[in-house]
A and B are shown apart, each in its own frame.
Chain A
Amino acid sequence: EAQVTQNPRYLITVTGKKLTVTCSQNMNHEYMSWYRQDPGLGLRQIYYSMNVEVTDKGDVPEGYKVSRKEKRNFPLILESPSPNQTSLYFCASHIGIPAGNEQFFGPGTRLTVL
């Protein structure tokens, strides 16, 4: 089954404790991205990657890092989490070639930073 998986699904942590949220897709997609969703602000893109070793900032990249060492994986790293990073996070992927294609989303990771 074609899917995007994220782990963990729920995480409660404390300020300053480094964490990584993993994202993996099994569709051989070139394009992957991370979004955060906050009440009243909708979905906002954090980082995206157009291929292995190619990453770029989205609209709200501050406080986040990403890496793309393999095509299937795109982890989101919070080096020093703060309470304002409490949010619902989604990873997404799509094939990336020109013309219309759908974007697949993971199930989400609900992060709480105390």
Chain B
Amino acid sequence: DAKTTQPTSMDCAEGRAANLPCNHSTISGNEYVYWYRQIHSQGPQYIIHGLKNNETNEMASLIITEDRKSSTLILPHATLRDTAVYYCIVRGPFYGQNFVFGPGTRLSVLP
């Protein structure tokens, strides 16, 4: 069963911030939120992950609501190369727990 819900597709203008939402209302206290993306048919690429606090790295920012039931991935200045399918994944910390990929959000960055 999917643990996350994401919009099927989104558009974003080049140079603007892309905000990708994810609902994970059944998340447990020890489960992490991960974001991956897949450009065309390449291997999925890790973007960022977090537990409770907001996180930022060179690629993106992750904003997790206080109740942890939803999160938003922010690409601050989207480029055409950010066009991809973005996956939000909830995963526990225990050894051997798998990454379950849903259908994701297809982000199209438009010139």
Interface residues of A (CB under 8 A from B): 4, 31, 33, 35, 37, 42-43, 45, 48, 50, 58, 88, 90, 92, 96-100, 102-108, 110
Contact = CB atoms under 8 A, between A and B. Distances in A.
A105 to B, nearest CB: 3
Interface in B61-111: 91, 93-96, 98-104
Interface of B: 32, 34, 36, 41-46, 49-51, 91, 93-96, 98-104
Contact of B98 (A45, A88, A105, A106): A45
Contacts of A90: 43-44
Nearest to B31: A100
A41 B44 CA distance: 15
Which secondary structure dominates chain A's binding surface? strand
Nearest to A107: B43
A48 B96 contact: yes
A43 B42 CA distance: 12
Contact of A103 (B42, B46, B93, B102): B46
A105 B44 contact: yes
B17 to A, nearest CB: 23
Contact of A108 (B34, B42, B93): B42
B96 A43 contact: no
A60 to B, nearest CB: 12
Contact of B42 (A33, A96, A104, A107): A107
